[in-house]
Amino acid sequence: MSKLDLHLHSTCSDGKLSVSEIALIIKEKKLEYCALADHNSIDGIQELMETLSGSGIKVIPAIELTAKQNDNEVHILAYDFNLELTMEIIKERNEIVRLQKIEEMKVAIKLSHEAGLEVSDDLNPSDKQPVSLTVALDICSSGANQNIFLKKYGKQFIAEDVYYEYQAPGKLCAVERSGVTVEWLIQKFKGIAQDLIIAHPFVSVSVVTIPLNESEINNLLKIGLTGIEVYHNNTTTEQIDLLKRIVGEQSVHYTGGSDFHGEKTDTPIGQYGSTCFIPSFLLANYKAGLLNK
């Protein structure tokens, strides 16, 4: 069985280890295929390729992209692309989101004030988190707001409480979330990335994200995504079996990865569980092992 991991993160996004540190682990694990899939960044890929050059380990260019899908947010893993062309897409995507976040922040602060909550007027959006979370954290830091929550709800609030009571769709402070759509990514990466894979479809990555259901997964495949991340550290055996069935029925590609971020509690590189090694994958230009039905 080939050793592989197609979902790793470094300090180029929210990982704790540098690219060189990750490369050392990849060598120690004797992987045959690997992919550094940092969030909305390809900055570490060239370094990983150079560091692993001559080792016989195949580095597949990858990136984990955040996209909007209706009222939800999904993560898309793009694989096997031209680095220069992808860098231009990422620059365009990040500039669109940056400008959207500025406007979203203005509206979010205005609506929060109208709801009777204190929010810092000089609050600025962050590249690394949703505007709603930035605002919610600021709201929670106010003693006056916490007194309001104690009187009205009988408890102090954390950011998640603020989201569900004030910012979720249909609530007083709801604002359309910034970001590009899945369709935008499909259009931009057409002819550039060989695969666009639905990342961890059953994982909720933040309070503004809900897991996908089978119908939503099939719809995403229908509009142009090419496959599913079947093996992931937060996906149950039953969910994996469901994803395998979809892969078989739709004849699409699939991947697996540890989603390693360098934390001590993370699933080890090359695995999707404490004792489970990623057995196989299938992309347009690569494959290893067979998907056991």
Residue 133 CB coordination number (10 Å): 19
Q: Phi and psi at residue 115, in whole multiples of 5°?
A: -85, 0
Residue 287 — pLDDT band, cuts 50, 70, 90?
A: very high
Pick the range with the lowest mean pLDDT from 11-15, 67-71, 162-166, 167-171. 67-71
Residue 292 — pLDDT band, cuts 50, 70, 90?
A: confident
Cβ partners under 8 Å of residue 24, min gap 6:
none
Tokens 């940092």, residue located: 38
Residue 208 — pLDDT band, cuts 50, 70, 90?
A: low
Q: For 175-189, how does the pLDDT look when each residue is reduced to its tens digit (9 = 90+)?
A: 999 999 999 999 999
Q: What's the rounded Cα separation, in Å, for the pair 183 and 29?
A: 37
209-216 own/partner pairs: CB under 8 Å, 24+ apart: 209/72, 209/73, 209/74, 210/72, 212/72, 212/74, 214/242, 214/246, 216/69, 216/72
pTM for the model = 0.92
| 232 bridge partner residues | 257
Task: Tell how far CA 116 is from the center of its chain.
Answer: 33
* Extents of the domains making up the chain: 4-82+192-288, 102-167
What's the sign of the alpha-carbon dihedral 216, 219, 225, 231? positive
Q: What's the rounded Cα separation, in Å, for the pair 17 and 110?
A: 39
| CATH number corresponding to 4-82+192-288 | 3.20.20.140
Q: For 141-195, how does the pLDDT look when each residue is reduced to its tens digit (9 = 90+)?
A: 999 999 999 999 999 999 999 999 999 989 999 999 999 999 999 999 999 999 9
Q: For 77-89, how does the pLDDT look when each residue is reduced to its tens digit (9 = 90+)?
A: 999 999 999 999 9
| In the predicted structure, residue 134 carries a pLDDT above the cut 70 | yes
Task: Tell how far CA 28 is from the center of its chain.
Answer: 26
On whether the CB atoms of residues 228 and 240 are closer than 8 A, the answer is no
Q: For 221-237, how does the pLDDT look when each residue is reduced to its tens digit (9 = 90+)?
A: 999 999 999 999 999 99
